[in-house]
Amino acid sequence: MLASWQYRERNSFVQSFDPRAWLIFIAMFIFSAFLFWDMRYLLFFFLTALFFVLRSGVRWKESKRAWLFIGGFILFFSLLTFLTGRGSSEFFTEEHLIREFTAKFSILGWTPTLRVTAEKTAYAISMLLRVFSIAALTILIPYTLNPALYGITFHGLGMPDKFAFAMDLTMRFVPTFARDFQLTMDAQKARGYELEKVEGGLIAQIRKLAPLVVPVTIQAVAGSEDIIDAMDLRAFGVTKRTWIQQLQYRRRDYVLIGFGVLLMLVSISLAMFGLGQYYVPGFLL
Amino acid sequence: MEQAETSLPTLEIEHLSFRYQRREELAIRDISLTVHPGEIVLIAGASGCGKTTLARCINGLNPRSYRGDLQGSIRICGRDIRELKLVEVSQMVGTVLQDPERQILGTKVINEVAFGLENLALPREEVLERVDQAMARLRISDLRGRDTFLLSGGEKQKVAVAGVLAMRPRLLMLDEPLASLDPASARETLDLVRELADEGMAILMIEHRVEDVLSIRPDRILFMDGGEIKYLGPLAGLAGVVDYHAVKLPVAMTMAMAVKDPPPPRISMLPSGQGEKTTLVEFRAVNFGYGDERNVLKDVNLKINRGDVIAVLGANGAGKTTLVKHAIGLLKPSAGDVLVDGKSTHELSIAQVAAMLGYVFQSPSHMLFAPTVRDELSFGPKNLKHPPHEIARDVAEAIRIVHLEGREEDPPLALSFGQQKRVSIASILSMRSRILVMDEPTAGQDYRNFMSFMNAIVQLPNFESILFITHDIDLAVVYANRVLLVNDGRVVRDGSPYEVLQDLDLLVENRLVPTSLLKENLLHYPRTGTFLRAEHLAHAVMLN
């Protein structure tokens, strides 16, 4: 059976919008944020995202794991880029050194050196702002979108019935997968399996994940067969269906969509004029 | 529900045979059956007898979703099923699958109940009206806005039935609807089915625990074996045809048949558990809650001793699984302590506990992964760093116990569900732990199979104690020497099977339903001084 995300009625600013308006806005926001590399522009996106997060009513306690997991992921990769200097070199050719750290040892004639440059620092800050803005709104989706309305929401966004219902099932697949994974993990632990002790080379490590991966995969496949039977037995997909839920745009939804459209139009215009691209603030130089 | 407009039979099957694509042999052969409005027909038989195939032919999944060759004819309300689209069949035949978990698609109860009607594109107002009627009919109107995912097993079952009833079928088909329900929820489902039949709906109920279904007074019983009808008629006539080892019959019937056979050998329980009653596991004032919720376990004090065969009984959601997961350290108490062999589970890894205590999960599909049965069974002992020659010996022994000889090189995932369940048990047996813990060991097993492996397990030389969770009172009557009754996170009664189970009011309060075997045992207890299985009871009381 499909599990649900931890949605609940929150009576918050974010959940006062029609789910379609909310999704449309998020899509336009993300599209716009992708157009910029200038940390001043990105700061605007970051603050906007922060505003929505704070007004979502989603408590730290319930979403802690998502923030820490995704936040950790972003920090790790930003740091990696910062340390190695890779990924950012397309933006600059010349670097201004701020400080240089040299290790007091060398390995096979190579002395590890960390060159902190203005360009790399600016890139790292921009990257963090950009990815955090996008991730923040994405993290909010499962917490703020009523699972009972998934289907009608996607249907209302213009998808055909089958597609909309498929999206509904897909959205719920993730928490279901998490639940099955936990059950399998417990069952294998009871057989003395310890994930922490998985060792060996990469291939060996992947092989040793089989006790988790195989049952979870089989469950997913078997589960989807059940779902197909259950849908067939109740006449799914034979005709254009009725949706008992109804969604109604209100003025605030138009305002939100309007804001999204404006954001996108302004962003596209700025980007077309070459504004908002990679920028190194003067004080770093 | 609407009465049938005509006196036409709801279902007419003539000489039906079905062979699945890429299978040589027929899954069912030459089935003929007519069911009239208001009639309840119980379809019984062991796993693999063809019950499910028959059901899939009637609801149209065979051959539409599961391809194959269908011979003979099926007429539903006078119309040939071949000429009907699946959507038309689904409006006449409502199917409730074995496990409501596998049927429920909607996020909220109301979405689930409305699902079929939405698909038929009825006007929204009509959908809502019919949904309200179906929910009122099942007395679940208060569940309307609830998350289906968070319902209890019994509630899920009713929601699944409501989703089917809302489509107003003429024939309602239920495939082992009781398998995942506690006895009281099962009784409620059965009462409802009776009411529906009284209102004119034709009912096909598939269930191998015949006894459990008799309260709905089925008009006829269809007994299947090897894909064929072995008997079709009233209950009384079943005695002459059916093997009482294969199907669970009311105790009087089983005893009448068993007394004519030689008595089965006595079972010597737990040969390693004899002697001194040392404590193996101890719960000390254990409390446990998930996150913010109120406590699921409340002040549990409990000792599992050498020689105990414990049945943990209780309704769905009573806290049985939570209790047992503490014994292996998968859950750690929020307050209090669980000691395994004198050491707190707070200080032990699960792998360390696993060496002492083997835990068989409810569903085999959560654990089977290896390419062969042998590898699957070696996994646990390898993790516990047993020496290879011991592993080889213990694996061979485990395979023998669950009767899977010759299957050593087969992939476990290609086996039938019943065989998979046995592999999952064997994969714990091969770890040679001292205590065996099983969560619903009989779920999804047919009667013959589970009696057979339960017999084998309690006689195993390796275990000093066995504990199993069950809804099935008879399993406690036959196998346990100690019963824990759990309700609302507390152990409400702990004692010998007689001490706990003789209080029938207590059982009813705890959503358990006394069985005919229990009642018969209580009746003869002054003479027998112990609880016996039906065959032994027959020889003990009927011959003298």
Cα of first residue to Cα of last residue in chain B, in angstroms, is 52
| Residue B507, Cβ density class (10 Å: 0-12 exposed, 13-18 middle, ≥19 buried) | buried
Instruction: Give the pLDDT mean for B414-436.
Output: 87
Q: Are B361 and A187 a contacting pair at CB < 8 A?
A: yes
The percentage of residues in chain B with a pLDDT greater than 70, rounded to a whole number, is 98
Q: Are A244 and B127 a contacting pair at CB < 8 A?
A: yes
Q: Distances from the Cα of B493 to the Cαs of A160, B301, B448, B504, B518, in angstroms?
A: 56, 12, 30, 13, 17
A2-6, A261-265, B274-278: which has the minimum mean pLDDT?
A: A2-6
Take residue B221 and report the two structure tokens written for it: 């019983």
Cα B15–Cα B20–Cα B26 angle in degrees, nearest 5: 45
Q: Is residue B485 within 8 Å of residue B500, measured between CB atoms?
A: yes
pLDDT at residue B154 greater than cutoff 50:
yes
In which band, very low, low, confident or very high, does the pLDDT at B87 lie, cut at 50, 70 and 90? confident
Nearest by Cα to B488 from B291, B293, B284: B293
Instruction: Give the pLDDT mean for A1-30.
Output: 87
In which band, very low, low, confident or very high, does the pLDDT at B449 lie, cut at 50, 70 and 90? confident
Write out residues 125-184 of A within 8 Å (CB-CB) of B. 147-148, 150, 168-169, 172, 180, 183-184
Residue A263 lies in a domain: yes
Contacts A220 to B, Cβ<8 Å = none
Q: Are B328 and A241 a contacting pair at CB < 8 A?
A: no
* Residue entry with tokens 């009813």: B508
Into how many domains does chain A fold? 1
Q: Are B366 and A187 a contacting pair at CB < 8 A?
A: yes
A101–chain B nearest CA distance, Å: 43
Query: What pLDDT does residue B1 have?
Result: 42
Q: Is A233 on the interface with B (CB under 8 A)?
A: yes
Query: What pLDDT does residue B166 have?
Result: 92
pLDDT at residue B6 greater than cutoff 60:
no
Q: What is the C-alpha to C-alpha distance for residues B501 and B493, in angstroms, rounded to an integer?
A: 10
Q: Which residue of A has its CA nearest to B362?
A: A187
Strands in B102-258 per DSSP E: 171-175, 202-206, 220-225, 228-233
* Nearest-by-Cβ selection for A188 from B59, B110, B367: B367
Residue A209 lies in a domain: yes
pLDDT at residue A97 greater than cutoff 60:
yes
Q: Are A1 and B102 a contacting pair at CB < 8 A?
A: yes
> How many CB atoms are closer than 10 A to CB B94?
25
pLDDT at residue A94 greater than cutoff 80:
no
Query: What pLDDT does residue A157 have?
Result: 93
Contacts B110 to A, Cβ<8 Å = 244
pLDDT tens for B28-44 read 999 999 999 999 999 98
Q: Are B120 and A231 a contacting pair at CB < 8 A?
A: no
pLDDT at residue A9 greater than cutoff 50:
yes
Instruction: Give the pLDDT mean for A203-217.
Output: 86
ipTM for this model: 0.82
Residue A8 lies in a domain: no
Residue A62 lies in a domain: yes
Q: Is residue B31 within 8 Å of residue B41, measured between CB atoms?
A: no
Q: Are A229 and B366 a contacting pair at CB < 8 A?
A: no
Sheet holding B11-20, edge to edge: B28-35, B11-20, B68-76, B79-80
A164–chain B nearest CA distance, Å: 13
A140–chain B nearest CA distance, Å: 19
pLDDT tens for B315-357 read 877 888 899 999 989 999 999 999 998 999 999 988 889 989 9
Query: What pLDDT does residue B230 have?
Result: 92
Q: Are A193 and B383 a contacting pair at CB < 8 A?
A: yes
Instruction: Give the pLDDT mean for B483-493.
Output: 93
Query: What pLDDT does residue B215 have?
Result: 81
In which band, very low, low, confident or very high, does the pLDDT at B448 lie, cut at 50, 70 and 90? confident
Write out residues 73-132 of A within 8 Å (CB-CB) of B. none
| φ, ψ (nearest 5 deg) of residue B490 | -120, 150
Q: Show Cβ contacts of residue B305 under 8 Å, excluding neighbours closer than 6 positions.
A: B277, B278, B279, B280, B465
Question: What average pLDDT does the structure give for chain B?
Answer: 89
B268–chain A nearest CA distance, Å: 28
Query: What pLDDT does residue B544 have?
Result: 58
pLDDT tens for A130-183 read 999 999 999 999 899 988 889 999 999 999 999 999 998 888 888 888 888 988
Q: What is the C-alpha to C-alpha distance for residues B79 and A42, in angstroms, rounded to an integer?
A: 67
Nearest by Cα to B415 from B449, B381, B390: B449
Q: Which residue of A has its CA nearest to B160?
A: A230
Query: What pLDDT does residue B4 have?
Result: 44
> B282 - beta bridge partners?
B303, B339
Q: Are B122 and A242 a contacting pair at CB < 8 A?
A: yes
Query: What pLDDT does residue B235 have?
Result: 86
Angle between helices B417-429 and B388-401 (to 10 degrees): 140
Instruction: Give the pLDDT mean for B349-377.
Output: 90
Residue type for position A166: A
pLDDT at residue B48 greater than cutoff 80:
no
Query: What pLDDT does residue B420 have?
Result: 87
Q: What is the C-alpha to C-alpha distance for residues B458 and B205, in angstroms, rounded to an integer?
A: 33
Query: What pLDDT does residue B157 have?
Result: 85
Query: What pLDDT does residue B3 have?
Result: 45
Residue type for position B543: L
Q: Are B108 and A148 a contacting pair at CB < 8 A?
A: yes
Contacts A234 to B, Cβ<8 Å = 90, 115-116, 119, 163-164, 167
Disruptive mutation site among A59, A191, A247 for chain B (greatest number of B CBs within 10 Å): A191
Residue A75 lies in a domain: yes
pLDDT at residue B2 greater than cutoff 60:
no
Take residue B269 and report the two structure tokens written for it: 């329980």
Which of the pair, B169 or B289, is modelled with greater confidence? B169
A219–chain B nearest CA distance, Å: 7
In which band, very low, low, confident or very high, does the pLDDT at B542 lie, cut at 50, 70 and 90? confident
Contacts B427 to A, Cβ<8 Å = 191
Segment holding B518, helix H or strand E: helix B516-528
The percentage of residues in chain A with a pLDDT greater than 90, rounded to a whole number, is 39
pLDDT at residue B5 greater than cutoff 50:
no
**Helices of type H across A55-158:** 60-84, 118-144, 150-156
pLDDT tens for B173-227 read 998 888 778 888 888 889 989 999 999 999 999 987 788 888 888 999 999 988 9
Q: Which residue of B has its CA nearest to A228?
A: B65
Q: Which residue of B has its CA nearest to A223?
A: B102
Residue type for position A59: R
Q: Are B358 and A190 a contacting pair at CB < 8 A?
A: yes
Q: Is residue B501 within 8 Å of residue B476, measured between CB atoms?
A: yes
Instruction: Give the pLDDT mean for B55-80.
Output: 92
Residue A39 lies in a domain: yes
In which band, very low, low, confident or very high, does the pLDDT at A198 lie, cut at 50, 70 and 90? low
* Nearest-by-Cβ selection for B124 from A190, A194, A244: A244
Contacts A195 to B, Cβ<8 Å = none
Instruction: Give the pLDDT mean for B524-528.
Output: 92
Cβ-based contacts under 8 A for chains A and B: 169
- Containing domain of residue A79, as a range? 14-284
Query: What pLDDT does residue A87 have?
Result: 62
Q: Show Cβ contacts of residue A261 under 8 Å, excluding neighbours closer than 6 positions.
A: A28
Residue A4 lies in a domain: no
Q: Where are chain B's structural domains?
A: 11-249
Q: Show Cβ contacts of residue A51 under 8 Å, excluding neighbours closer than 6 positions.
A: none
Residue A7 lies in a domain: no
- Topology of the domain covering B11-249: Rossmann fold (3.40.50)
